[in-house]
Structure 1
């Protein structure tokens, strides 16, 4: 298992409620270089909650595969790492130091670690020292309230992180402030470990712009892939325009993976994805109304084929 940083890496960002196993396996099949679990709390891992153990599962295609953890206490993090050490098939541990959600920050985890670089380094060192995985990476923001990314990046490097992903906003910038790609570029120039750029990377052209502006070693795409998982296909194949039949294939593959993983309930769960997929298509609102009542996998499969492949014809 080896990540090749000699050409840009295309990574799927962890997004709670979206980047579950079916979605990850689809982007992996169609071009993502690396997939990462949804964020998992170190406490939940230590207590082996059932839901958490299910979140750790990976698809057969997911190679390499990372698990992202959050935590503020190096002792608890160490115990969480020891649990992960017992699980085969995980290639790296990613530490979340970017999550801006108040309940995570209140516990001193996520982006709260950016306010305390000593603790930030201590937790990275703890993972690095106790993990038996190939890689240890860190996902950060530009700072908590003000930009401090050069110091943050250097601290991550000094603590032993193999690479870092930088989301180009501060914690106080939430998800709405403009992304500061120049600040990412400064951090990239200040360290020798690989740096991945993240934040508002929504399409093929924007990816090229971000890679050029930041000189980073790859991009991590989250929200830009929801409803458009084919962005990885476009990047991998250097194709700005994507054929409709490839889109339809990807949508159908996503549906099949959902049903495989969740059983019949996958049909219901897939409705929210179909709402996003059908945006901008003629007849989308009627299509949405019809699928909202469908519970049968066979019926849903027929409707998806009819709606998306017809558009591709």
Structure 2
């Protein structure tokens, strides 16, 4: 998730049956060049395991240099080939890489050659022509990718459109490495259904976990203790106002009226948000 999967959120979801957590998508070039970027984009601790760091890059050198800086702090690296945002495509990263199989192959080879003990994965979207996707993933498998996460939509499909389960199943049937399915997982039953329909090895949720960090513990919506724990962790780790505010807006999306959301959006500091939650929702941090 761009921006959101920071340390406090990862710690929160791990307490609700999440087995493997990813960092937000991090730009490899900025990460290798700037200590400020590194400190902003990545924090961890001894309990933050297993952890996959997700990099976006358009060349092997930037990627390798970034991975070399982080290799002792993570359990694997993922190369993002799925971000559909326009700015990412313009930078030659994210889903743009689905049209650059040679470049992805070079990135994978570079990581596996120089840091052979670090698991390397890719997160992809699908092509309109599934033959291209199968060729893409089989090529990645042939050069040593350790697992693949598949978002079952094309580059131009909106998040409101259904995930193509047949495409995910076809990818699974054509690979020997583990395959993780992503897209439209908002409840535990959604995850179980995708597992049943595709026979994949795992499921991944992004937007679903933003709304409900306790999704994999079989809660239909974020329980109140989950929200309180998120606030405590965010304070403890110094989460910035933007991230803190938007996380809570996701969690309260189906609870707040439009008028309440407007009021909440006027709160310009974390103390103001906490005071508001204490006064109107009964938040208790002690």
Partner residue of 2:22 out of 16, 36, 39: 36
Q: Distance in 2 between matches of 1:296 and 1:70?
A: 30
What is residue 260 of structure 1 aligned with on the other side?
Answer: 236
Q: Distance in 2 between matches of 1:276 and 1:110?
A: 24
SS in 2 for 1:43: helix
Q: Distance in 2 between matches of 1:16 and 1:282?
A: 24
Output the TM-score relative to the length of structure 2: 0.87
Q: Distance in 2 between matches of 1:269 and 1:256?
A: 14
Verify: 1:233 aligned to 2:217, yes or no: yes
Cα shift readout 1:71-123 (whole Å, capped 9, x = no counterpart): 121222222222223xx321111111111122222333221221122222111
Verify: 1:24 aligned to 2:21, yes or no: no
Q: Distance in 1 between matches of 2:265 and 2:161?
A: 35
Aligned residues: 283
Cα shift readout 1:211-269 (whole Å, capped 9, x = no counterpart): 111100010100111121110222xxxxx667xxx811111110011111226x55x75
Map 1:46-57 → 2, pairs under 5 A: 46-57=32-43
Verify: 1:121 aligned to 2:100, yes or no: no
Verify: 1:69 aligned to 2:59, yes or no: no
The answer (yes or no) to whether the contact 1:96–1:110 under 8 Å persists in 2 is: yes
The answer (yes or no) to whether the contact 1:252–1:305 under 8 Å persists in 2 is: no
Q: Distance in 2 between matches of 1:231 and 1:81?
A: 31
What is residue 186 of structure 1 aligned with on the other side?
Answer: 170
Cα shift readout 1:246-297 (whole Å, capped 9, x = no counterpart): 811111110011111226x55x753333333334448785587379548574
Verify: 1:171 aligned to 2:158, yes or no: no
- Structure 1: give runs of 5+ residues left out of the alignment: 1-14, 235-239
What is residue 91 of structure 1 aligned with on the other side?
Answer: 75
Q: Distance in 2 between matches of 1:296 and 1:96?
A: 31
Q: Give the aligned CA root-mean-square deviation in angstroms.
A: 2.8
Q: CA deviation at 1:210?
A: 0.5
Q: Distance in 2 between matches of 1:262 and 1:169?
A: 35
What is residue 300 of structure 1 aligned with on the other side?
Answer: 274
The answer (yes or no) to whether the contact 1:100–1:174 under 8 Å persists in 2 is: no
Verify: 1:251 aligned to 2:241, yes or no: no
Q: CA deviation at 1:18?
A: 1.9
Partner residue of 2:93 out of 98, 109, 124: 109
The answer (yes or no) to whether the contact 1:140–1:167 under 8 Å persists in 2 is: yes
Partner residue of 2:143 out of 144, 159, 165: 159
- Structure 2: give runs of 5+ residues left out of the alignment: none
Q: CA deviation at 1:124?
A: 1.0
SS in 1 for 2:150: strand
What is residue 138 of structure 1 aligned with on the other side?
Answer: 122
Q: CA deviation at 1:155?
A: 1.3
Verify: 1:149 aligned to 2:125, yes or no: no
Q: Distance in 1 between matches of 2:125 and 2:264?
A: 41
SS in 2 for 1:39: strand
In structure 2, do the counterparts of structure 1 residues 301 and 269 end up closer, same or farther at CA, with 3 Å as the change threshold? farther
